[in-house]
Every structure is written in structure tokens, then in C-alpha cells.
């Protein structure tokens, strides 16, 4: 036992030491380098690391503890993984998880750690190394071909010159490395061309080119990157040969089309001035829009003079001395007219026409303040320089030849004469005011306004103020009882000659000649009245160079630009635009004229620039179709026509305007009614309601609109026996509102069966007119109302079916009205009788009434029978009083029933005397009926069975 005991104890000692040593086996952490540098070629997966990826552990060769089990990468976006190749040696490799693209990312940086296998086979208690930095660079592969930056290149050369560089082409490459992304060479693919290209893409000509030999060259060019990869597609280069340089504007078109409603359109977007490399110090260009052939000189609103004045906010009270010829304005009928555009009325005077203005039209209250305005087109008169040409003249009608005031042209000077009466002033005062202006004889339209604030007189020409250059004084005119004569186109000479006649005839054209007494016009209104709706414009004023100076004339038909830098001038000319703000402009051409002067250093004018002539074509606008719709037939009871407000014939009126588009342009939602049709909103300038048939009889009917209906609108109205006219420039919605307030009244409609009206509306003084909307009012006549059901002449739409005779009058009491005076008399009589009535009669009367009505029902209609046991009747206590009146009227009603039946069998034709009698009888019956309607019974009809 003793010998065996010793080894046994030794075993236990060895075993214990082994256990102690086992707990201390994995004493060391793995070790790796502190940094690594790697390279990977794009589209490959293995990374070449320097130094190689190796992890060491001092615990080796102890199993597990000295072995390397894993490498861990720290970096969320690193597309790499580390793999252990040999656990014992600690060797590893770095691989890409997927394809790596150099064009996406050229470099990667992340951290890596090594892990040992732990203390045992189960991998517990493993240890990790420190973190090492890994830098990886992605090597490029020449996978992309060069691509040119432009799809096509253009250039121009002048014949006979050798250029170092005509133009430069440029290509680029998507590869990421300088070796493959840079373009190292260009080459001309087209053979036998007089051009060469260098490695930077500059193309030059190798020989002098001739404009006569060849006008245009097309060459194809390719490119190579530094890896000698060629461009997939060659690029085309177009080279134009120009003749020997001639100074002038280039890059402009002779015709520009303008579509209405498109706002401002550039006229010369690519225009530039060729100066053939001359040294410039300044450039001055004048662009002129010539519109003298259009109406009064440009595209203006062509509404009537009154409408324009109201639209511009002019003061009321002006007198139109040259209105359109009509029955009430016949003094202009003998004058020559020229209505060539948009119904814009123009009067032409050739030295033989003149007209006397009727005395009823002449303003009689000219004070120290008044305004004379007119459009005038006038040119010089060769050989007649000493002759005065009178536009407007107020002179003695007989005996003498004194001119009280006049406006005339003399030797291309405008003169205004104003002679005061001695009753107003008796001193030497200003009498003649002279202006010398180019506009007076330039044969163009201008708007002249003379504001008189005596003794000061101011002239406005196209909105610009001009003071007289000469004012002459004269004595006032001695007062006399001689009448004066106001004339247009000449001056009336009533005295000092054997035969009164016109003298000092005017030669030219006039339009819109007006006088406004008692008030002068403001410059704002004057500018509005003559404003052009078309003209020149400059887009993006803020983008013009500071060295560019520009100036418009008041009508914006002439633009002058000056600059020292040629590029700034070219940029400014490219921004010159045409604009027409009219919704429906006048179609046709507008001529453009550009004159240019160039100054060189030390010289006045060194280069001659040819003038440019071009045209703007304003395309025809889409013409609106103005449609008036609504109920074309109204049926109204005669009582409505007799009412205080009458009837509103156009209460359901609707005015719309549409344009048809043939190009199928899409429109915004809510506006398209059918393909190609768009509803548009615009102004109207008048709507006329005409009476069809006999004119209105002012003794018993009228068609009118209350002034309050026009408040807040630019509208006025006039009416006569032939209809009513609403005029003024305003929206269709306002015209709708006004027309719905038109009222027709008839005080005696007994013989009237119907009235017919016709409504038409206009835009631009008749340029666009609506359809003719015809409306008929049928008058509903009621027969004399009586107690008996079978004798009531009432239309079905005004009746309720009733079977009890006591209910008839009450249910239909609204059919016809009672004259107000009769109502008052009846009410007073009833009130007086109520005081006298004894309440005891009430029961007796109720019993009597029930019995009499049953008898009456049986006599009138034996077939009409019903059970009225459930009928509850509340008897009016005033019935006793009115029963007496009704008993007296029953006999009269019976006689009238017989008369009505006989009259119904007669012919519809009747004499004037019969109509009068019928009207009187109807009025009497209305009074009687009203008295009956107010006295009927009240009842509970809930239990009545129909």
C-alpha cells in the first residue's frame, strides 16, 4: 500500500499543475502591423496589401491560444472582407465583396483587427489585436471612350485669310485616372480638306479659302484618350466661308411674325454688328417702328370718343363737334369720311368742305377754363403758304366778320385765337397764341389738346407739353347783339361780303374734335386718350450694361441706344422687342427701320453701316364670337306690366364670348366647352335694345334703366321711343348686370297682346358684334273676376283646383291687384261698419250663409256634391257687412257674365273707343274684386278631400 500510494499522489500533483497552467495559456493578444496600403484593380476582387496581412500571437504553438481565427473590418461603407488563410501562421487576405468602380470611388480607408481562437476549442476567452489603418487605392481600367461636349460645331471664316484657330472642339472621358481620362489627340477623319487640327482641338485652315469656290465645308473630327482609345462617334464641324468683310448688322430676319396676346417678342435675338475689326469708340443705333399707315398712327383703342373719355377718367360735359352722321347729328353728313380701320371715323377736308355746327350743340358757357382736343393729320400746302387753314372757328353770323375764337394752321404753325368781350375785360390782353412744331406739317397723326386757363394757354401734342413761342395781344371785342356761328373745317364770313360764305378752308384730316367748357384736362387723361397700344420695348432692362444709354419717344415708336462697347450694344439690340397690348389688335405689317452710326477714335464717323429695313407681321387675332342667350319668350300678367317696377325682360340674360382655336392648343380646366373652343373675357362698348314693330308710346309705356344700376360701372344709358342704348367700355359681367335691370312698363296694357325687343352688343365700336337676340313678352289678360267658379277667367298656372265655392276668391286673391286708392277707401269703410255691426248678428248670418251657399251650389252644378261633414269653417265676423255689398253686386256680376260670354264669340278686332271702354270697365272690376277678396272666410282646410 505504501509503494502504491506514492505514484497516486504524484498523479494528483501533475493533474493539479495542468489545471493551473490551462487557465494561463491564452496570455497574449494577437499582433498586426499598424497600417496597410493596398491596391485593387476595378472590376477585380483581390487586394494587394503592403505589407501582407499577417497576424502573430506569442501564445503559439499552443493550440487555439496561439492561432488566428478571424480578421474584423471596422467601417460601415467599406465593400471589403478579410479572410484567414492559415490559422497557425496567421496569414490572411483582403477581398472585395463586389465590383469596385474607380469612377464611383477612387480610394477607401478603414480599420482592421485580428482575433485569436481563444483558450479552447469552444473559442471562449479570445483576444483581439489593436486596430490597424488600411488605405486602398482603386486602379483605373480604360473602359470609356472620349465623347465630344457639343453635338455639332459651327464656325465662319472670311475668304482670303489664314486663321491660327477657326474654332476649338473639345472632348472628355469618364475614366477616373489621368492616363485614361485625358484627351491626348484629335484627328480629322474627312480626307482632302484644307483644314488641320492640333492636339488641343484647335482647327485652322491650311490654305486661303474662296467664297466663290466653296461656301460651306463639313468635316468630321475624332478624339483619342491617353490610353489611345478612340471616340465612339465623330463630331461634325460646319465651317461657312464669308465674302470679304463688309460692315453692317448680321444675324437678323427681314420678317418677324407676332401672335396677338403673346406679350413682348424679341425682334433681333441673334443680331450683331460686324465692324470688320475696326477700332470703335461709340455706336449709336436708332430703331423706328413705322405705323403711320394704321388709323391715327398706331394701334390704339377704337372705342367711341365718349367711351374713351370715360375709360380714361376724363371729366364729363364735352361736346363732340365731329360725331358720326345720324338723324340727330346731321351737320357732318356732307363731310368726307374715311373709316378704314376698326370703324375709327376720320373726316377728310380737301379745301372745299366745311360744316356749320347747330346752335343747340354749341357750348354756350365757355369761361376762362375750357379744353379743345382733336386728332389732326396735316401736311404743308405748296403755293398756299399765306392762306390760313381753319379747324374750328366761332365768328359773327351776320353783319360783321369778327372771330371770337378759332383754331387754325398758318405756314405750318398752329395758332389759337381767343378774343374776349368788353363785358368781361376792357384792357389789352393776350389774344393769339402761336406754336411752331414739326408735327404740324409732317403728314402724320397727332393728338392736340389746348388747355385754356386764361390768360395762360397750354398745348399738348401726343401728351407732351409745349408753351407758345409767340403771344400777341389785342383789344377785347365790343359787345353786340349779333349771333355767332361755330364752324368746322373753315370759318364763316357772314359780313363784309355780298354773299355769306365759308373761307379759310382746312386741308387735312380730323377726328374726335371736342370742346369741354368749364374744366381743363389733366395730363394723365390726355396721355391715356392718345396712348398707343403697340410699340417698341426692351426686355430685361436690368441686364443691360451700365454703359448703354437708351431713350424712347413718348409713343415708344422710336428707340435710340448708345454705347461704347460693341458687345454691350449687340446684347442690347438683341433685347429690343415689339409689344401690342390690345386683346384684338389690327392685323397687318409694321415696318422697322434701323439706322446706325459708328465713331472711331479721333474721327467723327469712320465706318458706314447700311440701314436695315424689316417688317413685323401682326397675325389676325382669333375673332371672338359674342353670344347672347336667355329666355326668348316671357308670359306676364298685365298687372305686372302696370306695377311700379314693371317687368325685367332680360332677367335671365347671359353674355358669353368664345374664340375658336384651330391648332388644338390645350386650355386650362374649366374653360374648354368643346375641342378647340375657349371662352374669353373682354370688354363691350355698347348694347342696344330696339323695339320691334311700333315704337313705344310714351303716354302709357316706357323702357328704361334706373341710374343706380349704373353706379360703379363705366356705363351710361340713353333711351327713346325706339329703345334703349347702354354704352361705355366695361366688362361683359357689368353689361349683364345692367341689362338685367332694364324695365318695361305699360300703364294701359288692356289691348296689348305682346311686345318684341331685339338686343345686340358690340366690342371695339362695332368691329365684333353679337347675335341678334329677340325677345317677346306676351301679356296675360284676366277676365272680370266674379263669385262663380265657372266664370273665373284665370290661367291654370295661377289657380289651385278648389271644389268649394266659398274658397274661390280667397285662394285666388293674388291674381289681380287692387289700385292703392281703392284699397284705402275700402279699408276705411270696413273699419267704420265694423263699429256698427252687432255681434249678435254673427250667428244668424252664419246660419243664413250656409243655407244660401248650399242652395247656390245645387243650382249652379247639380253634379257637384260631397260630404262636408268634416269641413270646419271659421266664419269672419265682418262677413255680415260685406254680404250686403256682395248682394248688391251679384246682379251686376250676372250681367257682366252674359256680356263676357257674348264678347268671347265676337271677332278679335275692335275700335279704339271699345278699347277705352274695356280698360275703364276692367279698372272698375279690379276695384270691386279687391273689395271682395279682403272679406272672405277663413277656414281649416286640413280635412278637405280633393
What is the per-residue pLDDT across 135-160, written as a single tens digit (0 to 9) for each? 988 888 888 899 999 999 999 998 88
**Cα–Cα distance for residue pair 146/188, rounded to 1 Å:** 15
Is there a contact between 109 and 134 (Cβ–Cβ < 8 Å)? yes
The yes or no reply on domain 147-242 and CATH 3.40.50.1820 is: no
Of 89-93, 667-671, 882-886, highest mean pLDDT = 89-93
Residue 787 clears pLDDT 80, i.e. is over it: no
Of 6-10, 306-310, 756-760, highest mean pLDDT = 756-760
Q: What are phi and psi of 39, to 5 degrees?
A: -135, 135
C-alpha cell at 517: 367748357
Residue 801 vs residue 296, higher pLDDT: 296
**Cα–Cα distance for residue pair 594/253, rounded to 1 Å:** 13
414 burial via Cβ count (<10 Å: 0-12, 13-18, 19+): buried
**Cα–Cα distance for residue pair 462/448, rounded to 1 Å:** 7
**Cα–Cα distance for residue pair 10/179, rounded to 1 Å:** 76
Residue 23 clears pLDDT 70, i.e. is over it: no
pLDDT of amino acid 362: 87
Is there a contact between 318 and 515 (Cβ–Cβ < 8 Å)? yes
Is there a contact between 248 and 609 (Cβ–Cβ < 8 Å)? yes
pLDDT of amino acid 656: 93
**What percent of the chain has pLDDT above 70?**
75
CATH number corresponding to 248-291+534-618: 2.60.40.10
CATH number corresponding to 305-530: 2.60.120.200
pLDDT of amino acid 525: 86
pLDDT tier at 523, thresholds 50, 70, 90: confident
Q: What are phi and psi of 488, to 5 degrees?
A: -125, 130
C-alpha cell at 866: 260631397
**Cα–Cα distance for residue pair 805/791, rounded to 1 Å:** 12
Residue 901 clears pLDDT 50, i.e. is over it: no
Of 274-278, 477-481, 783-787, highest mean pLDDT = 274-278
Residue 822 clears pLDDT 80, i.e. is over it: no
**Cα–Cα distance for residue pair 428/328, rounded to 1 Å:** 41
Residue ranges matching CATH 2.60.40.10 in the chain: 248-291+534-618
Instruction: Write the pLDDT tens digit of every residue in 417-452.
Output: 988 765 555 677 788 899 999 989 988 889 999 999
Angle 820-836/912-933 helices, nearest 10 degrees? 40
Cα–Cα distance list, 537 to 10, 116, 250, 251, 263 (Å) = 117, 83, 21, 20, 10
Mean pLDDT (whole number) for 247-260: 90
DSSP secondary structure of 667-734: --TT-EEETTEEE---EEEEEEEEEESSPP-TTTEEEE--GGGGTTTT-EEEEETTEEEEEEEEEHHH
Element (H, E) at 853: helix 841-860
Mean pLDDT (whole number) for 357-365: 84
Residue ranges matching CATH 2.60.40.60 in the chain: 30-139, 147-242
**Cα–Cα distance for residue pair 700/705, rounded to 1 Å:** 17
**Cα–Cα distance for residue pair 573/250, rounded to 1 Å:** 12
Mean pLDDT (whole number) for 69-89: 87
Residue 171 clears pLDDT 70, i.e. is over it: yes
What's the chain's Rg over C-alpha atoms? Answer: 52
**Cα–Cα distance for residue pair 369/39, rounded to 1 Å:** 99
482, β-bridge pairs: none
Is there a contact between 785 and 799 (Cβ–Cβ < 8 Å)? no
- Residue in the block written with cell 290661367: 795
Is there a contact between 70 and 115 (Cβ–Cβ < 8 Å)? yes
Of 40-54, 335-349, 480-494, 731-745, highest mean pLDDT = 731-745
Mean pLDDT (whole number) for 193-206: 94
- Bridge pairing between strands 235-242 and 152-158: parallel
Chain-wide mean pLDDT for the chain?
Answer: 77
Q: Among the CATH numbers 3.40.1000, 2.60.40, 2.20.28, 2.120.10, which is that of 624-661+676-780?
A: 2.60.40
pLDDT tier at 76, thresholds 50, 70, 90: low
Q: How many CB atoms lie within 10 A of CB 486?
A: 24
3-state SS, residue 855: helix
Residue 798 clears pLDDT 90, i.e. is over it: no
**Cα–Cα distance for residue pair 107/103, rounded to 1 Å:** 10
pLDDT tier at 668, thresholds 50, 70, 90: very low
Characterize 311-343 residue by residue with b for buried, 16 or more Cβ atoms within 10 angstroms of its Cβ, and e for exposed.
bbebeeebebbbbeeeeeeebbeebebeeebbe
Q: Which CATH class is domain 30-139?
A: mainly beta
Helix, strand, coil share (%) of the chain residues, nearest 5? 20, 35, 45
433 burial via Cβ count (<10 Å: 0-12, 13-18, 19+): buried
pLDDT of amino acid 862: 36
pLDDT of amino acid 603: 65
DSSP secondary structure of 307-350: HHHHHTTPPS--EESSPPP-SS-GGGTTSEE---STT---EEEE
Residue ranges matching CATH 2.60.120.200 in the chain: 305-530
Q: What are phi and psi of 451, to 5 degrees?
A: -95, 120
pLDDT of amino acid 844: 47
Amino acid at each position: 500500500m505504501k509503494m502504491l500510494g506514492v505514484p497516486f499522489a504524484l498523479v494528483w500533483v501533475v493533474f493539479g499543475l495542468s489545471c493551473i497552467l490551462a487557465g494561463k495559456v491564452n496570455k497574449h493578444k494577437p499582433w498586426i502591423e499598424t497600417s496597410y496600403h493596398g491596391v485593387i484593380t476595378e472590376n477585380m476582387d483581390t487586394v494587394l496589401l503592403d505589407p501582407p496581412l499577417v497576424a502573430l500571437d506569442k501564445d503559439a504553438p499552443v493550440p487555439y491560444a496561439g492561432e488566428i481565427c478571424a480578421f474584423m473590418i471596422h467601417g460601415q461603407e467599406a465593400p471589403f472582407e478579410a479572410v484567414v488563410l492559415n490559422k497557425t501562421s496567421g496569414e490572411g487576405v483582403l477581398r472585395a465583396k463586389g465590383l469596385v468602380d474607380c469612377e464611383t470611388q477612387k480610394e477607401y480607408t478603414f480599420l482592421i483587427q485580428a482575433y485569436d481562437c481563444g483558450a479552447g476549442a469552444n473559442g471562449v476567452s479570445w483576444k483581439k489585436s489593436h486596430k490597424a489603418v488600411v488605405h486602398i487605392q482603386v486602379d483605373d481600367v480604360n473602359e470609356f471612350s472620349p465623347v465630344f461636349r457639343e453635338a455639332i460645331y459651327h464656325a465662319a471664316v472670311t475668304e482670303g485669310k489664314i486663321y491660327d484657330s477657326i474654332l476649338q472642339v473639345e472632348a472628355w472621358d469618364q475614366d477616373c485616372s489621368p492616363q485614361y481620362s485625358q484627351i491626348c489627340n484629335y484627328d480629322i477623319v474627312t480626307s482632302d480638306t484644307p483644314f488641320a487640327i492640333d492636339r488641343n482641338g484647335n482647327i485652322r485652315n491650311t490654305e486661303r479659302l474662296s467664297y466663290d469656290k466653296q461656301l460651306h465645308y463639313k468635316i468630321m473630327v475624332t478624339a483619342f484618350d491617353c490610353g489611345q482609345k478612340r471616340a465612339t462617334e465623330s463630331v461634325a464641324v460646319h465651317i461657312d466661308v464669308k465674302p470679304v468683310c463688309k460692315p453692317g448688322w448680321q444675324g437678323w430676319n427681314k420678317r418677324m411674325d407676332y401672335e396677338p396676346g403673346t406679350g413682348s417678342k424679341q425682334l433681333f435675338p441673334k443680331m450683331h454688328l460686324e465692324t470688320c475689326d475696326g477700332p470703335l469708340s461709340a455706336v449709336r443705333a436708332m430703331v423706328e417702328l413705322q405705323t403711320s399707315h394704321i388709323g391715327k398712327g398706331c394701334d390704339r383703342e377704337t372705342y367711341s370718343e365718349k367711351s374713351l373719355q370715360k375709360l380714361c377718367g376724363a371729366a364729363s360735359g364735352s361736346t363732340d363737334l365731329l360725331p358720326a352722321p345720324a338723324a340727330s347729328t346731321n351737320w357732318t353728313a356732307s363731310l368726307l369720311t374715311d373709316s378704314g380701320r376698326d370703324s375709327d371715323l376720320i373726316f377728310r377736308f380737301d379745301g372745299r368742305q366745311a360744316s356749320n355746327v347747330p346752335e343747340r350743340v354749341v357750348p354756350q358757357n365757355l369761361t376762362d377754363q375750357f379744353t379743345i382736343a382733336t386728332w389732326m393729320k396735316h401736311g404743308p400746302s405748296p403755293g398756299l403758304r399765306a392762306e390760313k387753314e381753319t379747324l374750328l372757328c366761332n365768328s359773327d353770323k351776320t353783319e360783321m366778320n369778327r372771330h371770337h375764337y378759332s383754331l387754325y394752321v398758318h405756314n405750318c404753325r398752329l395758332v389759337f385765337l381767343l378774343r374776349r368781350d368788353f363785358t368781361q375785360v376792357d384792357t389789352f390782353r393776350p389774344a393769339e397764341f402761336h406754336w411752331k412744331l414739326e408735327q404740324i406739317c409732317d403728314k402724320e397723326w397727332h393728338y392736340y389738346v389746348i388747355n385754356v386757363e386764361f390768360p395762360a394757354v397750354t398745348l399738348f401734342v401726343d401728351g407732351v407739353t409745349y408753351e407758345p413761342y409767340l403771344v400777341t395781344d389785342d383789344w377785347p371785342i365790343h359787345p353786340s347783339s349779333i349771333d355767332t356761328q361755330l364752324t368746322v373745317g373753315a370759318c364763316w364770313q357772314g359780313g363784309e361780303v355780298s354773299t355769306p360764305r365759308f373761307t379759310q378752308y382746312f386741308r387735312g384730316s380730323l377726328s374726335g374734335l371736342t370742346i369741354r367748357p368749364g374744366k381743363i384736362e389733366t395730363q394723365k387723361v390726355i396721355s391715356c386718350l392718345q396712348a398707343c397700344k403697340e410699340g417698341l420695348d426692351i426686355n430685361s432692362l436690368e441686364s443691360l450694361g451700365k454703359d448703354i444709354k437708351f431713350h424712347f419717344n413718348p409713343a415708344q415708336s422710336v428707340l435710340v441706344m448708345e454705347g461704347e462697347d460693341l458687345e454691350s450694344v449687340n446684347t442690347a439690340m438683341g433685347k429690343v422687342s415689339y409689344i401690342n397690348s390690345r386683346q384684338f389688335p389690327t392685323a397687318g405689317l409694321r415696318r422697322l427701320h434701323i439706322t446706325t452710326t459708328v465713331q472711331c477714335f479721333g474721327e467723327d464717323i469712320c465706318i458706314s453701316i447700311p440701314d436695315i429695313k424689316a417688317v413685323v407681321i401682326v397675325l389676325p387675332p382669333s375673332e371672338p364670337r359674342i353670344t347672347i342667350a336667355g329666355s326668348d319668350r316671357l308670359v306676364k300678367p298685365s298687372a305686372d306690366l302696370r306695377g311700379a317696377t314693371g317687368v325685367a325682360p332680360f332677367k335671365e340674360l347671359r353674355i358669353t364670348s368664345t374664340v375658336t382655336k384651330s391648332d388644338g392648343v390645350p386650355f386650362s380646366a374649366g374653360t374648354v366647352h368643346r375641342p378647340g373652343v375657349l371662352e374669353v373675357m373682354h370688354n363691350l362698348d355698347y348694347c342696344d335694345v330696339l323695339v320691334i314693330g311700333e315704337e313705344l308710346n310714351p303716354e302709357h309705356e316706357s323702357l328704361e334703366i334706373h341710374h343706380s344700376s349704373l353706379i360703379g360701372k363705366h356705363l351710361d344709358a340713353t333711351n327713346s321711343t325706339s329703345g334703349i342704348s347702354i354704352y361705355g367700355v366695361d366688362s361683359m359681367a357689368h353689361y349683364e348686370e345692367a341689362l338685367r335691370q332694364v324695365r318695361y312698363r305699360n300703364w294701359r296694357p288692356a289691348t296689348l297682346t305682346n311686345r318684341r325687343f331685339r338686343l345686340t352688343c358690340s366690342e371695339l365700336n362695332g368691329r365684333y358684334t353679337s347675335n341678334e337676340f329677340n325677345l317677346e313678352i306676351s301679356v296675360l289678360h284676366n277676365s272680370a273676376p266674379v263669385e262663380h267658379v265657372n266664370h273665373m277667367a284665370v290661367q291654370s298656372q295661377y289657380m289651385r283646383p278648389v271644389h268649394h265655392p266659398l274658397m274661390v276668391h280667397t285662394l285666388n286673391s293674388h291674381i289681380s291687384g287692387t289700385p292703392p286708392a281703392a284699397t284705402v277707401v275700402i279699408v276705411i269703410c270696413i273699419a267704420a261698419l265694423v263699429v256698427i255691426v252687432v255681434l249678435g248678428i254673427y250667428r244668424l248670418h252664419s246660419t243664413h250663409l250656409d243655407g244660401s251657399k248650399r242652395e247656390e251650389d245645387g243650382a249652379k252644378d247639380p253634379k257637384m256634391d260631397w260630404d262636408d261633414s268634416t269641413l270646419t269653417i271659421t266664419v269672419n265676423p265682418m262677413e255680415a257687412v260685406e254680404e250686403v255689398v256682395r248682394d248688391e253686386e251679384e246682379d251686376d256680376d250676372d250681367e257682366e257674365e252674359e256680356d263676357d260670354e257674348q264678347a268671347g264669340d265676337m271677332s278679335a278686332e275692335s275700335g279704339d273707343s271699345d278699347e277705352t271702354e274695356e280698360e275703364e270697365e276692367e279698372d272698375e272690376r279690379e276695384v270691386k274684386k279687391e273689395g271682395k277678396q279682403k272679406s272672405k272666410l277663413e277656414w281649416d282646410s286640413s280635412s278637405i278631400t280633393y
